[in-house]
Amino acid sequence: MMKGASRWLFGLLIVLLPLLLITTSIRMLLTPLYLQVAYHLPGFPPDPFGFTLEERLHWANYSLSYLLNQADISFLSSQSLSNGQPLYNPRELRHMVDVKNLVQLMIRVWAGLLLLYLVVGLWAWRIQQTRAFWLAISRGGWLTLGLVLLILMGVMVSFNWLFTAFHRLFFEGDTWLFYYSDTLIRLFPLRFWQDAFTAMGLLTISMALVAAFGGKRLAQRK
């Protein structure tokens, strides 16, 4: 009975590792540091409607703070641009609420997965099953590599299709579509998301390689 439960649990670790590593990468990108990097990448397009780099960074960081804090939408709706116009229009505000809900859910899932791997790792050590635990980490790393490489291939072949599919999966109808003159597009143009998807893929691949090779090496020591 114990062996069957252990196999099932370690199998679950293999399957869930891609989700853990991908959400870890996303959480690493939800930082002011990444915004600084993204806006300073060579070839990043300027705002055709007049935002300076400093204004973009200010409002992008402010919007990021909203996604990560516990404030309601008044955190954004109370803000105005230098010309007196609201930072976001009602349609953009509705989308930001949806994005916040998704980000907060992702963070809870990420934290839950971290806790799961910690608890199972301690349990495996306690029952002297650390070899099986690290083998599961290694195999999960290889699974992650395969999945992320497919995602990156999608980015290279047709990012527009991948971007559209993602939004149709997580958001209702056309609530995520905006005019080029809207603040959300001015702050976060398509190039921003192309770079973010690529960065997420590279970060995840790096962690997956560590898991694949490091897990195997640690398993061989047990």
Measured between alpha carbons, how far is 139 from 145 in angstroms, rounded to an integer?
A: 10
Torsion angles phi and psi, residue 208, rounded to 5? -65, -40
- Given a contact cutoff of 8 angstroms between Cβ atoms, the answer to whether 206 and 141 are in contact is no
**Mean of the per-residue pLDDT values for the chain?**
93
Question: Is 6 within 8 Å of 133 (Cβ atoms)?
Answer: no
pLDDT in tens, 170-185: 888 788 899 999 999 9
Q: Domain residues for 164?
A: 2-221
Q: Which one, of 204, 27, 203, 127, lies nearest residue 119 by Cα?
A: 127
Answer yes or no: are the C-beta atoms of 204 and 148 closer than 8 Å: yes
Please tell me the total count of domains within the chain: 1
Residue with tokens 């670790």: 13
Q: Model's pTM, two decimal places?
A: 0.92
150-155 contacts at long range (C-beta below 8 A, 24 or more positions apart): 151/197, 151/201, 152/197, 152/198, 152/201, 155/194, 155/197, 155/198, 155/201
Q: How far apart are the C-alpha atoms of 58 and 48, rounded to whole Å?
A: 17
pLDDT in tens, the chain (222 residues): 456 667 889 999 999 999 999 999 999 999 999 999 999 999 999 999 999 999 999 999 999 999 999 999 999 999 999 999 999 999 999 999 999 999 999 999 999 999 999 999 999 999 889 999 999 999 999 999 999 988 888 778 888 888 888 888 888 878 889 999 999 999 999 999 999 999 999 999 999 999 999 999 998 875
d(CA 169, CA 76): 25
Count CB atoms within 10 A of the CB of residue 116. 15
